[in-house]
Structure formats: C-alpha cells, structure tokens
C-alpha cells in the first residue's frame, strides 16, 4: 500500500480526574504517516503537548499487539475504531485520509468510571472474574493435556470464547451498558469443558450476581456487542449463559 501523510483534526475528551466534569479539546495534528498506528499518532500528539508545556492526554495501552485489551478508545462513535474485529492499537492511520476529523471518547458506562481523560477503571471486570472465573485443580503432577477426551465442537467453542481479552468494548457499545458478552464468554469458556464441571452452577450464579452489583445493564440482544468485539465473540454465548443461569438458578437450593 502506498505511503502518504495527512493532517487531522482531533476532538479528544479531557477530564482531570473522576470527580471533575470533562470537556472536548480540539487538536490539529500534522504530517501523520499512514503507516503509524492510532496510538503512535497519540504518542506524536502527546510529545508535542509536552514540548508546549501542556498536560499530555492520558490513555491506556500495554501490549500494542491486540492481546491485552487495555487500549479502550471510542473512535468516531465506535469502540476500537472503524475496522472490524480489531483493537485500537492495531488500527492504522491508513484508515484515515488528509483533512479527516476524529472524535475520541472514553468508554461510557457507570460501571467503568473515567479515571482521567481516556482512561477508565475496568476493575469491575476483575471482580466479576474473581466471583467465579476459575476452576479447581488438584495439586500434584500436571496431568497430560490429552488425558481427557473433549468433543471437537465443544473444544472449538470454548477456545473461541476464551479469546475474549476483557477490553470492555461490548459494554461501551451496548445501549444498556451490559457486560453480558464479556460474562458469557468467560462462563462459556469454562462451562463447555469438563474441567469447568465442579463449579459450573455456582460459577454462573456468582458471576451474574457480581455483574449486577457492579451496575451494568441487562441484555436485550441488540447485537451491538458482537458487532464491535475485537475477538468476534459470538452473541450465541449470551444465550448459552442464559441457559446456564436458568438451569442452575431453578435447581440450586
């Protein structure tokens, strides 16, 4: 693909801390290379802000290779930007052309309070995992990985669900700020495998209870989550979670 440079207008949400009300700030960025990543473009802007003696824009990132789920940015109305099945760090500036205006906002959900600028606190996800996203393992020698035969379909579906990186884009995109795609990926991943068997019922009940306590909304199956998920987690997992929850909730004493 041919290399080119571009000048852009950025409208970025700035907010000093969780208490203060934020506002949009407009920046002109010049000579951005089409081969830069979206976050590199922010690095360039931040260096310029630092040179000018201004506060750089706070944003989350870690791996910059699409596996950690930190880079939460709501770009022109879409989590992780315009590309399908992609994270912000893997979005490249060739997605834009000279003269474009890009609006960048933090994830919006009361369960993800803004810490600063584009950084939100997603520890509600950690607490949901702590409520049941684990399995019991006996101590002793590690068991041979092939010792338990697993149906191919189940192994594939569990693997696909395990691809969730906990980025929160599903919550950000959902009109109800529902965490059901995330939760359903975590529950499905373990419920489909024999190793997840012992805690199967308690896990789904406890994780849903924690999700409700964190203040996420309920799912209305609109499908916005699936459309923006960088790991293409299927919405069918939500229906599976419902079956797991109803099955457990109706029998557990």
Partner 1 sequence: MQWSEFFTSSVGKKFVMGLTGLFLISFLVIHVGINATIFADLVDPDENGAMFNKAAHFMGSTVLIRILEIGLFAGIILHIVQGYMLEAKNRSARSVGYAVNLGNRGSKWYSRAMGLLGTIILLFLIIHMAHFWVKARITHTLAPVTYNGVEMHDMFSEMKAVFSEGWVIAVYLLGCISLGYHLAHGFQSAFRTVGVHNNKYNSLLVNLGYGFSILVSLLFALMPVAMYFGWVG
Chain residues that interact with ligand HEM, rule: CB under 6 A: 220-221
- Binding flag, residue 29, partner 1 (CB under 8 A): no
Identify what 81 binds: ligand HEM, ligand FES, ligand SF4, none; CB under 5 to 8 Å per kind. none
Residue range at the interface with partner 1 (CB under 8 A); choices 31-39, 60-68, 135-143, 215-223: 215-223
SS3 content of the chain, % helix, strand, coil (to 5): 35, 15, 50
For residue 56 the two structure tokens come to 């750089």
Nearer to partner 1, 86 or 178 (CB): 178
Instruction: Report the SS3 class of residue 5.
Output: strand
Backbone conformation region of residue 143, classed left if phi is above 0, alpha if psi is from -120 to 50, else beta: beta
Identify what 248 binds: ligand SF4, ligand FES, ligand HEM, none; CB under 5 to 8 Å per kind. none
Indicate the length of the chain as a whole number.
253
- Binding flag, residue 153, partner 1 (CB under 8 A): no
- Binding flag, residue 61, ligand FES (CB under 6 A): yes
- Binding flag, residue 87, ligand FES (CB under 6 A): yes
Question: Which of 81, 132, 133, 230: binder of ligand SF4 (CB under 6 A)?
Answer: 230
Question: Which of 91, 118, 158, 185: binder of ligand SF4 (CB under 6 A)?
Answer: 185
DSSP label at residue 80: T
What φ, ψ does residue 104 adopt, rounded to 5°? -120, 120
- Binding flag, residue 33, partner 1 (CB under 8 A): no
Cβ at position 30, least distance to ligand HEM in Å = 46
Contact between residue 7 and residue 32 where contact means Cβ atoms under 8 Å apart: yes
For residue 43 the two structure tokens come to 């690095």
CA dist., res. 74 & res. 88, Å (int): 9
- Binding flag, residue 64, ligand FES (CB under 6 A): yes
CA dist., res. 161 & res. 238, Å (int): 11
Identify what 166 binds: ligand SF4, partner 1, ligand FES, none; CB under 5 to 8 Å per kind. ligand SF4
């Amino acid at each position: 693909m041919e290399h080119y440079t571009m000048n852009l207008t950025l409208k970025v949400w700035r907010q000093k801390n969780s208490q203060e009300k934020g506002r949009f700030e407009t920046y002109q960025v010049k000579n951005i290379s089409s081969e830069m990543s979206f976050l590199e473009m922010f690095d360039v802007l931040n260096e310029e802000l630092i040179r000018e003696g201004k506060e750089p824009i706070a944003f989350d990132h870690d791996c910059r290779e699409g596996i950690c789920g930190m880079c939460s940015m709501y770009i022109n109305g879409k989590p992780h930007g315009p590309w399908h099945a992609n994270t912000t760090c893997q979005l490249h500036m060739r997605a834009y052309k000279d003269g474009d205006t890009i609006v960048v906002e933090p994830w919006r959900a009361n369960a993800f309070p803004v810490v600063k600028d584009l950084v939100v606190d997603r520890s509600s996800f950690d607490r949901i995992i702590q409520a049941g996203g684990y399995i019991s393992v006996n101590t002793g020698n590690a068991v041979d990985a092939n010792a338990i035969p697993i149906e191919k379909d189940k192994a594939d579906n569990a693997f696909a669900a395990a691809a969730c990186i906990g980025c929160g884009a599903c919550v950000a995109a959902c009109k109800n700020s529902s965490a059901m795609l995330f939760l359903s990926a975590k529950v499905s991943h373990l419920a489909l495998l024999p190793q997840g068997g012992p805690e199967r019922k308690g896990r789904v009940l406890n994780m849903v209870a924690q999700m409700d306590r964190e203040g996420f909304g309920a799912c209305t199956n609109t499908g916005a989550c699936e459309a923006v998920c960088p790991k293409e987690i299927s919405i069918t997992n939500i229906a599976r979670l419902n079956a797991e929850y109803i099955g457990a909730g109706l029998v557990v004493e």
